[in-house]
Chains A and B, each alone.
Chain A
Amino acid sequence: MTDANFFFDNLPFFIPLIIVELVLMITAIVHIFRHQHYQHGNRWLWLLAVMFIQPFGAIAYFVFGRELE
């Protein structure tokens, strides 16, 4: 089975999965850009973590990175 076949065969799984991960990522990125200060780390570190460690980067950001108000 080719990769494309594999992807299209399981589309009913992948479409919602991609949407959910995108929502999580975009929420985190918007939050990162709206804030100047973070509990730990800096803006670039969190942007990289959120974009490349899916989905745990976004959880880590909201728990450990998000500025305390």
Chain B
Amino acid sequence: MKVMWYFTHKEILEAWRKHHLLIIGLIFMIFGIESPLIAKILPDILHSSFGSNLVINIPQPTSVDSWQQFYKNITQMGIYVLAIIFSGFMSQEVSQGTLVNLIAKGLPRFIVVLAKFLVAYLQWCGAILLAFVITWGYTAYYFPDNKSPQPLLGLVPLLIFGLFFTALLLLGSTLAVNNYFGFLFAAGSIIALTILNMWKSVQRWNPVALMTDNLRLVQGTEKLAHISPALMLTLGLTIVLVTLTIIIFNHKRL
């Protein structure tokens, strides 16, 4: 346990020294501010780009638009920014040989995997929570309506999806031949799952549901129970992926 704590501590320190914590924090602050801003100015932008001869009536933006922008920003950009930043977190250490000494001195290999997983996941949660709190504040102030009664409920699946996504990155980065493979592996898996989502019968089971159904959860038109199969499957897959990573890392030459 003590070893786990030391190695986790080292990982956090490294994330700080490499400026990862700083850029993740700043980027997600930008996402948090941008989402309600875009929702608010979108009608103005449409007006100024189409001029006054625009016939259709653009409805006033509501809190739903703000949350829609938020989930769009996070799931279409935010998670890939995190993926790029985390991409080399295992492969870089293997290729630079920085783990050799630690493991030769008796650091168990599974601790390395678990600590890296934990620290990456904590950064995921921190980043998304930071953006969420900022968007929540602006939304509550600028769009005080009751159209999105459950903002927190939409966030829960996204945080659980983080476990799965981090596990994918970790596996990709452990299998990797270069520092970008982790990113490509995770992004490729998400694209494959998104394509699978075209079949209606798998939608409730697909981990991707955790980042597509958020808005309906926020609006209260869908219950969390509806995607519980996907939640369970995501948690199961995460355990499988992390176990697989430990097995592969145990056999890897450093």
Contacts and interface: CB of A to CB of B under 8 A. Distances in A.
A52 interface: no
Contact of B26 (A1, A6, A12, A20): A20
Given A58-B23, A62-B23, A63-B85, A13 B29 contact: no
B103 interface: no
Contact of A66 (B18, B30, B48, B96): B18
Contacts of B20: 62
Does more than half of chain A's interface fall in helix, strand or loop, or is it mixed?
Answer: helix
A1 B48 contact: yes
Contacts of A55: 26-27, 30
Most chain A beta carbons < 10 A, residue from B23, B41, B87: B23
A17 B18 CA distance: 23
B19 A1 contact: no
Contact of B19 (A17, A21, A31): A31
Contacts of B27: 24, 55, 59
Q: How large is the interface on B (under 10, 10 to 19, 20 to 34, 35 or more residues)?
A: 20 to 34
Interface string B1-26: 00000000000000000111011001
A36 interface: no
A24 B33 contact: no
Interface string A37-69: 000000000000000000100110011001010
B44 A20 contact: no
B107 interface: no
Q: How large is the interface on A (under 10, 10 to 19, 20 to 34, 35 or more residues)?
A: 20 to 34
A31 B128 CA distance: 26
Contacts of A23: 26
B34 interface: yes
A27 B27 CA distance: 13
Contact of A59 (B18, B40, B84): B84
B23 A24 contact: yes
Contacts of A24: 23, 26-27
Contacts of A13: 33, 36-37, 40, 138
Contacts of A10: 37, 40-41
Interface of A: 1, 6, 10, 12-13, 16-17, 20-21, 23-24, 27, 31, 55, 58-59, 62-63, 66, 68
What are the 8 closest A-B residue pairs judged by CB atoms, nearest first?
A13-B37, A24-B26, A20-B29, A17-B33, A62-B19, A20-B26, A62-B23, A16-B33
